Amino acid sequence: MFEKEKTKENFLGALPKGVMLNLLLGVLAIVLTAAWGGPRINLPFWVSFSGFLLLLSLYFFVSIFCIKALPPRRMDREFVKSGPYKFVRHPMYGAIIFLLNPALALILRSWLMIIFIVPVYFFWRFLAGEEEIGLAKTFKEDYPSYQKEAGVFFPSLFKINKIVFASFWFVVLLIASLLFLNFNLFVDHFVVFDAQEIITQKEQPAEQNERKKSDIFKAFAPSNFALAENRFYATIFETSAKIDSPANQMPNQALVKRSSAQEGDSLTIAKLNLDAPLVFPTKNTEAEINKALDQGVIVYPGSSLPPDFGNLFLTGHSSVYFWDKTPYGKVFARLNELKVGDKISVNLGGFSYVYTVSAKQIVNPDEVKMVNPGNSHTLTLMTCWPLGTDKQRLLIDAKLEN
């Protein structure tokens, strides 16, 4: 009986203790996530589920590979250096840390489970260290040399292939740099709490659904553009005609009504601590719009300026490439915080026009329309949404106060 228990202990090693500690930390992460209402991983279900299946499949593959490489009845006499053990001393433990834990975190949408991988790693490292003391005594001089050849939980890439090693760390450092430089965008897009407001439906009165669409501008669709345009997430639009069509390179109607933009023309939203200059692109070509977006909030060609009746359509960036140094790359990043009843000030030609938010909605790019409100003054603010993507458009509608 004693020999059987000893053989079983040799075969399992630190696995029982490690799994128990791993399980306790995982449960703690789930409980805290439920108690705090987050932070949750903000990904579509199909993405989370696909990632879960991929990581779980890799975990089972590594585990089965490890079990097949081990001789259970000769564990105390035979030194195994084949299969995954050729490169990693504890591949099964590593699979639990770096494959099973992230898989569960994805399907449970818990950032705390991702964060808890750090203490989990050190717990497993401590248990593996205790196990290796016994292995070193059993296999004497063979095991210390093996420790120099193979990694603990991950292959020693430097000894396997220096090019692979350098490539791996280049990718890791690149990803880390991108996350550091775009940390706020990353948090805004991928981290949510249960109590956090998520715009899932239109916040608008019923009569607003009957908005009269103008035939001048059809759906604004996102344009394709080259990486050299220095845009990561763009707020670039084109009409249904080709962008370079002569008929489409129309002058800004706002400039026809006013000979030139007055110095000091700006958009002010006190709630968002936003004060940005208004820019009047002369044409709605891609190059002209891109240039104008870097200079502030643009008055889109076709807009009507007060005191004339019509719709004043403004758009700005919510995010850009991290190397695009424009100060207005995130001018509309907080636009989703506006609610019905909030105030927006448009300063034109020395006058301040105060609008009240009347609706907020998220639509697909092909659903954006220029509005012809008739005998009234309206304002529309638009930006790409969610943050860090150009998948949809966030629209804020407002009416001029009497």
Q: pLDDT tens-digit profile of 244-296?
A: 333 344 455 444 444 344 457 899 999 988 999 998 888 777 778 878 888 88
User: Residue 311, Cβ neighbours under 10 Å: how many?
Assistant: 22
Q: What is the pLDDT of residues 108-135, one digit of tens each?
A: 889 999 999 999 999 999 998 888 888 8
Q: What is the pLDDT of residue 322?
A: 61
Report residue 356's pLDDT band, with 50, 70 and 90 as the boundaries: very high
Q: How far is CA 113 from the centre of its chain?
A: 18
And the tokens for 63? Answer: 């585990």
Confidence of residue 232 (pLDDT cuts 50, 70, 90): very low
**E strands of 29-149, at which residues?**
40-41
Q: Does the model's pTM come out above 0.75?
A: no
Nearest 5 degrees, angle CA 264-CA 270-CA 273?
85
Averaged pLDDT for residues 353-379: 83
Q: Is 221 helix (H, G, I), strand (E, B) or coil?
A: strand
> Tokens representing 181?
């430089």
191 confidence band (pLDDT: 50, 70, 90): confident
The torsion defined by the Cα of 128, 129, 130 and 136, in degrees rounded to 10, comes to 110
Are 148 and 132 in contact by the 8 Å Cβ rule? The answer is: no
Q: What is the pLDDT confidence band of residue 371, given thresholds at 50, 70 and 90?
A: low
Lowest mean pLDDT among 38-42, 53-57, 212-216, 312-316: 212-216
pLDDT for residue 102: 93
Domain ranges in the chain?
Answer: 2-155, 206-400
Q: Is the pLDDT score of 7 beyond 50?
A: no
- Would you say 191 and 347 are in contact if contact means Cβ atoms under 8 Å apart? no
Averaged pLDDT for residues 68-87: 71
188 touches 388 (CB < 8 A): yes
Span 45-68, average pLDDT:
90
pLDDT at 12: 64
* Mean pLDDT, rounded, for 310-335: 81
Cβ atoms of 128 and 14 within 8 Å: the answer is yes
Average pLDDT over residues 40-52: 88
Residues 6 or more apart in contact with residue 317 via CB below 8 angstroms: 233, 234, 235, 293, 326, 328, 329, 330, 331, 332, 383, 384
Q: Give mean pLDDT, residues 19-26.
A: 90
Binned at pLDDT 50, 70 and 90, residue 323 comes out as low
Higher pLDDT, 212 or 310: 310
Please state which of the ranges 7-11, 365-369, 394-398 shows the lowest mean pLDDT: 7-11
| 3-state per-residue secondary structure call for 137-169 | HHHCCHHHHHHHHCECCCCCHHHHCHHHHHHHH
Q: Within 10 Å of residue 107's Cβ, how many Cβ atoms?
A: 18
d(CA 37, CA 391) in angstroms, rounded, equals 26
Domain 206-400 has CATH 1.10.357.10: no
Compute the 3-state secondary structure of the chain and give helix, strand, coil in percent, each to the nearest 5. 45, 15, 35
Equal fold, 2-155 vs 206-400: no
Top-confidence residue, 310 or 197: 310
Beta bridge partners of 352: 347
Terminal CA-to-CA distance of the chain, rounded, Å? 91
* Cβ pair 71, 78 in contact under 8 A: yes
What is the reported pLDDT for 55? 93
CATH of 2-155, one of 3.90.550.10, 1.20.120.1630, 1.10.3370.10, 1.10.8.50: 1.20.120.1630
Q: Is the pLDDT of residue 26 over 60?
A: yes
Amino acid 231: pLDDT: 32
State the pLDDT confidence band at 50, using cuts at 50, 70 and 90. very high
- Mean pLDDT over 227-242 rounds to 32
Stretch 354-367: mean pLDDT, rounded? 88
Name which of 68-82, 229-243, 290-304 the model is least confident about: 229-243
Whether residue 304 is predicted with pLDDT greater than 70 in this model: the reply is yes
pLDDT at residue 237 above 60? no
Query: How far is it, in rounded angstroms, from Cα 356 to Cα 339?
Result: 10
